[in-house]
């Protein structure tokens, strides 16, 4: 849709402004009425009132976390779809989120870990294990990696890890109470500290993601062509996997498994800017942040005064989209 580089660049700026606007809205809207003036006062003229505390401790962390997690999941999904050439690839469908969640739940309930930094390592380990297993299982055999085989491997891995999680939780009711809301995927009530402790890894992931675009363009011409052009495809794949693990694992550590963002967004950004990954990846990041911020604002209003976990919102939006893609089939 956007053809020239100038329009694409303009699009990026519009995207950034949109994300900032939505973050602003995310601070303003909700059960507690907040006026723009209060937000400014909360920083320049903090008076310890309820509203000011809510702004500083609840709304702003929430907006930042939603934006970061949305961007992470969308970028992870884009890279997965690009590397596997599978339009249904995403952290949730391929079991990466489930793997990370299982490890975190295991860490909390069985090993009694409460340090956020340690738990984020558990999330990375789980995400990595799931990603590697799905990739290996999906690409075994004579005909190599086929989209259907890979999707089935992912779905089965997701089923496997979630049944393990389920098993742990049946044995430990106290843990169930602790992790239930987290397990549904939510950006509400997260301490900013969680985001900060994971941030270094996310930044590494983002930097890698900026540089992998060009290599992915080459790889998307096909493995053989890429090799013929002198690309070490295995290295690109390893870096891709590292990005996915850092971004998806980090997101699970922060907000729990939030599904469907990684599947919708890459399609929208490809529709917007074509197949050049140098553009697709940043667009995915911005659109992912936009979608999760929107979903999170919506989640506050559906059953007010209670809140729907944002993972449910994304499933509501994402499931029809998934079905549309699945019906269209793999032949693009």
Partner 1 sequence: MKKYVPFRMWKVSLLLDKKSLVVTIGFLFLMLLIMIISLGIGQMNISPLNVLKVIFGTGSSMEELVVFSFRMPRILLAVVAGAALAISGAILQGIIRNPLASPDIIGITGGAAFTTVGFLALFSDRSNTLTVSIHWLPLASFIGAVCMGFLVYALAWKKGGITPIRLVLIGIGLAAAMQAFTTMMMILGPVFTASRANIWITGSVNGTNWNEIAIIVPWILLLTIITFVYARRLNMQELGEELAVNAGQKVQKDRFVLLFLSTALAGGAVAFAGGIGFVGLMAPHIARKLVGSSFGALLPVSALMGGIIVLIADLIARVAFAPLELPAGVLTSAIGAPYFIYLMYKSRNM
Residue 126 Cβ, how far from partner 1 at the closest point, in Å? 14
Does residue 143 contact residue 119 with C-beta atoms inside 8 Å?
no
Report d(CA 205, CA 196) in Å as an integer.
15
Does residue 78 contact residue 284 with C-beta atoms inside 8 Å?
yes
Report d(CA 273, CA 199) in Å as an integer.
28
Report d(CA 55, CA 138) in Å as an integer.
46
CB atoms within 10 A of CB 89: 28
List the one residue from 181, 210, 231, 272 that touches partner 1 (CB under 8 A).
181
Residue 318 Cβ, how far from partner 1 at the closest point, in Å? 7
- String marking each residue 103-122 x if it binds partner 1 according to CB under 8 A: --------------------
Helices H / strands E in the chain, number of each? 14, 0
Using the rule CB under 8 A, give the single segment among 5-13, 69-77, 134-142, 189-197 that binds partner 1.
134-142
Alpha helices in 110-172 (DSSP H): 116-139, 147-171
Residue 251 Cβ, how far from partner 1 at the closest point, in Å? 15
308 binds partner 1 (CB under 8 A): yes
Report d(CA 63, CA 286) in Å as an integer.
14
- DSSP per-residue letters across 6-18: HHHHHHHHHHHHH
31 binds partner 1 (CB under 8 A): no
Closest Cα to residue 250, out of 46, 89, 100? 100
- String marking each residue 275-304 x if it binds partner 1 according to CB under 8 A: ----------------------------x-
93 binds partner 1 (CB under 8 A): yes
Nearer to partner 1, 60 or 261 (CB): 261
Interior CA angle at 184 toward 200 and 191, to 5°? 40
Does residue 265 contact residue 287 with C-beta atoms inside 8 Å?
yes
Residue 304 Cβ, how far from partner 1 at the closest point, in Å? 13
Using the rule CB under 8 A, give the single segment among 24-32, 152-160, 233-241, 267-275 that binds partner 1.
152-160
Report d(CA 120, CA 129) in Å as an integer.
14
171 binds partner 1 (CB under 8 A): yes
Report d(CA 79, CA 58) in Å as an integer.
32
Using the rule CB under 8 A, give the single segment among 5-13, 22-30, 178-186, 277-285 that binds partner 1.
178-186
Nearer to partner 1, 64 or 179 (CB): 179
Residue 86 Cβ, how far from partner 1 at the closest point, in Å? 11
Report d(CA 265, CA 257) in Å as an integer.
16
Does residue 181 contact residue 244 with C-beta atoms inside 8 Å?
no
Using the rule CB under 8 A, give the single segment among 10-18, 38-46, 155-163, 278-286 that binds partner 1.
155-163
86 binds partner 1 (CB under 8 A): no
148 binds partner 1 (CB under 8 A): yes
Binding site for partner 1 (CB under 8 A): 88, 92-93, 133, 137, 140-143, 148, 151-153, 155-156, 158-160, 162-164, 166-167, 169-171, 173, 176-177, 180-181, 183-185, 259-260, 303, 306, 308-309, 311-312, 314-316, 318-319, 322-323, 326-327, 329
């Amino acid at each position: 849709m956007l053809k020239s580089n100038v329009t694409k660049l303009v699009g990026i700026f519009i995207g950034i402004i949109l994300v900032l606007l939505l973050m602003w809205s995310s601070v303003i809207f909700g059960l507690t009425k907040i006026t723009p003036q209060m937000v400014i006062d909360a920083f320049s003229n903090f008076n310890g009132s309820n509203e000011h505390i809510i702004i500083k401790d609840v709304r702003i962390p929430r907006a930042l976390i939603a934006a970061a997690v949305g961007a992470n999941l969308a970028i992870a999904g884009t890279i997965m779809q690009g590397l596997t050439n599978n339009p249904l690839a995403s952290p949730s469908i391929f079991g990466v989120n489930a793997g990370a969640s299982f490890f975190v739940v295991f860490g909390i309930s069985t090993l009694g870990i409460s340090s956020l930094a340690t738990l984020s390592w558990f999330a990375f380990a789980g995400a990595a294990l799931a990603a590697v297993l799905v990739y290996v299982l999906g690409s075994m055999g004579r005909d190599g990696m086929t989209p259907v085989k890979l999707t089935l491997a992912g779905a089965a891995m997701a089923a496997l890890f979630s049944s393990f999680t389920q098993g742990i939780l049946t044995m430990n009711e106290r843990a169930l109470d602790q992790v239930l809301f987290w397990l549904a995927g939510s950006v509400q009530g997260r301490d900013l500290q969680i985001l900060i402790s994971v941030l270094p890894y996310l930044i590494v992931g983002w930097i890698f993601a900026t540089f992998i675009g060009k290599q992915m363009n080459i790889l998307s011409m096909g493995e053989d062509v890429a090799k013929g052009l002198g690309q070490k495809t295995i290295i690109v794949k390893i870096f891709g996997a590292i990005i996915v693990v850092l971004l998806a694992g980090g997101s699970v550590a922060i907000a729990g498994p939030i599904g469907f963002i990684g599947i919708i967004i890459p399609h929208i950004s490809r529709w917007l800017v074509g197949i050049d990954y140098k553009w697709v990846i940043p667009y995915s990041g911005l659109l992912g942040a936009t979608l999760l911020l929107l979903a999170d604002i919506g989640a506050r209003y559906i059953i007010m005064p209670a809140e729907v976990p944002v993972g449910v919102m994304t499933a509501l939006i994402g499931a029809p989209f998934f079905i549309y893609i699945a019906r269209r089939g793999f032949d693009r």
